[in-house]
Structure 1
Amino acid sequence: MSPHLISEFRQRFASSGMTPDLVRDFQDEVMEFYEAKGRHEMEWRLRFDPYRIVVSEVMLQQTQVPRVAVMYPKFIEKFPDFAALAAAPQTELLSAWQGMGYNSRALRLQKLARQVTDEYGGVLPEDPELLEKLPGIGPATSCSIAAFAFNRPVVFIETNIRRVFIHYFFADDFVVDDRDILPLVEACLLPDRSREWYWALMDLGTALKTSVPNPNRRSRQYVKQSAFEGSDRQVRGAVLRALLACDGKNIEEIACSVGESGERVEKILGEMCDEGFFVREESGCYRVQR
């Protein structure tokens, strides 16, 4: 959208609020952007299979689109449905997840697949309230799954949607709360095209990342991600790779493999055992949970 048009939206919103005419004009502009510049080629948008939507949404929670675009088709090929993922050995699952980061998502995704298989006969429920009760699915993700898999007219905010609404309607506010944004998201929803509408907003929000200073820094919900280098996240990933490559190592061997102190590695191993990644054997060696 041109700066002139953005300014017009802001002035109209400031003077009269979210009027029907402003809603309609905003919808038209967002959808025109989507038709011209939307990311239509992303593989998880080509089929509305609920399982594939769930996998993509969990992957996209904390991983950038280019990385997911590489990993997603390989993961789907290996685990094509809820039943296959539910039955997969954990070593295979974690090996397939390597390169995605935040490996606990993989464990929660498998728990979700088992719950859907056991409780729902392999059929994902459509109700966001039921989706939110599944492992690893929070309020925003439950709604995004409902929208993308079932075209449900749900209302939610995620980082790109937040960026769009702050940029277009809260230019003069230094702090913007999601409670102020949600009524606008609800007012602007295209109820019969929920799937396309949210894809369009997300694509526009992504485009804004490269063209304007990040509006999300003015969000009350904004949290800056901590540095990865030297973090426990980095060490956790290294420990997991070491044990996937060779099971049955003790603390000293693992610490040597990852180049960290035994004390730090022991702490991380304890946490990851509690989370279900590893098992500590009587010998004092660790292996990946089967």
Structure 2
Amino acid sequence: MNPERLSRQYHQTGTLTPKVTDAFRQTIYDRYHANPRPMPWRETHDPYPILVSEVMLQQTQVERVKAKYAQFLTFFPTLADLAAAPLEVVLRVWQGLGYNRRAIALKRCAEDIVTRYNGLFPETIAELESLPGIGPYTARAVSAFAFGVAEPFIETNIRTVVIHFFFHGRENIHDRMIMPLVAETLDHGNPREWYYALMDYGVMLKQLHPNPSRRSSHHIRQSPFKGSNRELRSRMLRAILDQPGITTRELTDLLSADEAVVVKNLGALAREGFADQRGEGFVVRD
């Protein structure tokens, strides 16, 4: 398909003909069927490991997630196992993925499903969105991949594909312009495979072209991790896991950091649900 011509036709008419929609889907599917990306979470319809994968994949590269996904499910093979596990153990297993708040959210989800739904994974998008840390994208992705629910959603690779084909040469593209196209081209007969195909096509586009998502009004250049407070908090959490009861002074010396900065970030770890002060030292929250 010619993206320039397709984009021009779409913006002249404001809609897609059935013929164009079918051709677009065929283009995406042809690439996917010829070269699908193998991922372990694509081999299951069980919503629990699918949820684990979706949370892990937030801001983390696929290859890093693959190894941790297998390890995590070895430690916590079921929702009940994760819900019952001490937070300290969950955080230890999570180490290496970064964005540790995701581990807390995932454990809280498991606890919520066990207590509110008697361990039965909720299937509706409204129920999924009511779980801790689960937003519109994750709820719809889990719903599509586990239950075959055909609802439009946007993530970075889907955004890349839509911008490439339908917004040729345009800048500052808002998601409200993209969502109608996601909805119109959605394969309602097989949303699970369609979204996998769409995401894989987006990855391929980023390898062949300057990232089209940079033309999105939602594109944000990620700030460097090295030297950031986020990096310091990650190191502090690892130290608290390794040395329960470690004091502010000991953390400051261990990390060669400014004491005022350590104190500030200890407060952040407490607010985010990671750590509590016990006497003069700090431990992972129970």
TM-score bracket for the superposition, by shorter chain length? over 0.9
Question: What is the deviation of 1:10?
Answer: 2.9
Partner of 1:270: 267
Partner of 1:131: 128
SS in 1 for 2:283: strand
| Correspondences of 1:82-97 after superposition (within 5 Å) | 82-97=79-94
- Alpha-carbon distance between aligned partners in 2 of 1:276 and 1:10, rounded to the nearest angstrom: 47
Question: Is the 8 Å Cα contact of residues 146 and 152 (structure 1) preserved in structure 2?
Answer: yes
- Alpha-carbon distance between aligned partners in 1 of 2:54 and 2:133, rounded to the nearest angstrom: 11
Query: What do the CA deviations read for 1:24-54 (whole angstroms, capped 9, x no partner)?
Result: 1001110111101121x20000111010011
Partner of 1:101: 98
Q: Determine whether 1:63 maps to 2:83.
A: no
Go from structure 1 to structure 2 and tell me whether the alpha carbon gap of 1:8 and 1:38 turns closer, same or farther (over 3 Å shift).
farther
Length, aligned pairs only: 285
Query: What do the CA deviations read for 1:55-103 (whole angstroms, capped 9, x no partner)?
Result: 0000011211010011100000100111000000111100000011000
Q: Determine whether 1:23 maps to 2:38.
A: no
Partner of 2:194: 197
- Alpha-carbon distance between aligned partners in 2 of 1:259 and 1:216, rounded to the nearest angstrom: 39
Counterpart residue type for residue 38 of structure 1: P
Partner of 1:169: 166
Question: What is the deviation of 1:11?
Answer: 4.0
Question: Is the 8 Å Cα contact of residues 83 and 117 (structure 1) preserved in structure 2?
Answer: yes
Question: What is the deviation of 1:6?
Answer: 3.2
Q: Which is further off, 212-221 or 94-103?
A: 212-221
SS in 2 for 1:199: helix
Counterpart residue type for residue 283 of structure 2: R
Counterpart residue type for residue 66 of structure 1: E
Question: Is the 8 Å Cα contact of residues 42 and 69 (structure 1) preserved in structure 2?
Answer: yes
Counterpart residue type for residue 180 of structure 1: M
Partner of 1:238: 235
Question: What is the deviation of 1:193?
Answer: 0.4
SS in 2 for 1:279: strand
Partner of 2:156: 159
Partner of 1:287: 283
Question: What is the deviation of 1:289?
Answer: 1.5
Query: What do the CA deviations read for 1:227-271 (whole angstroms, capped 9, x no partner)?
Result: 111111100110011111111111010111122111111111111
SS in 2 for 1:210: helix
Question: Is the 8 Å Cα contact of residues 3 and 168 (structure 2) preserved in structure 1?
Answer: no
Counterpart residue type for residue 250 of structure 1: T
Which runs of 5 or more residues in structure 2 are unaligned? Answer: none
Choose the corresponding residue for 1:111, options 88, 108, 112.
108
Question: Is the 8 Å Cα contact of residues 125 and 139 (structure 2) preserved in structure 1?
Answer: yes
Partner of 1:33: 31
Partner of 1:210: 207
Partner of 1:122: 119
- Alpha-carbon distance between aligned partners in 2 of 1:200 and 1:12, rounded to the nearest angstrom: 24
Question: What is the deviation of 1:8?
Answer: 4.1
User: Which aligned runs of 4 or more in structure 1 are off by greater than 6 angstroms?
Assistant: none
Query: What do the CA deviations read for 1:131-189 (whole angstroms, capped 9, x no partner)?
Result: 11111111111111100111101111111100100011101211111111111111101
Go from structure 1 to structure 2 and tell me whether the alpha carbon gap of 1:186 and 1:7 turns closer, same or farther (over 3 Å shift).
same
- Alpha-carbon distance between aligned partners in 2 of 1:8 and 1:81, rounded to the nearest angstrom: 49
- Alpha-carbon distance between aligned partners in 1 of 2:201 and 2:211, rounded to the nearest angstrom: 13
Percent identity, aligned pairs only, is: 42
- Alpha-carbon distance between aligned partners in 2 of 1:255 and 1:192, rounded to the nearest angstrom: 57
Question: Is the 8 Å Cα contact of residues 72 and 93 (structure 2) preserved in structure 1?
Answer: yes
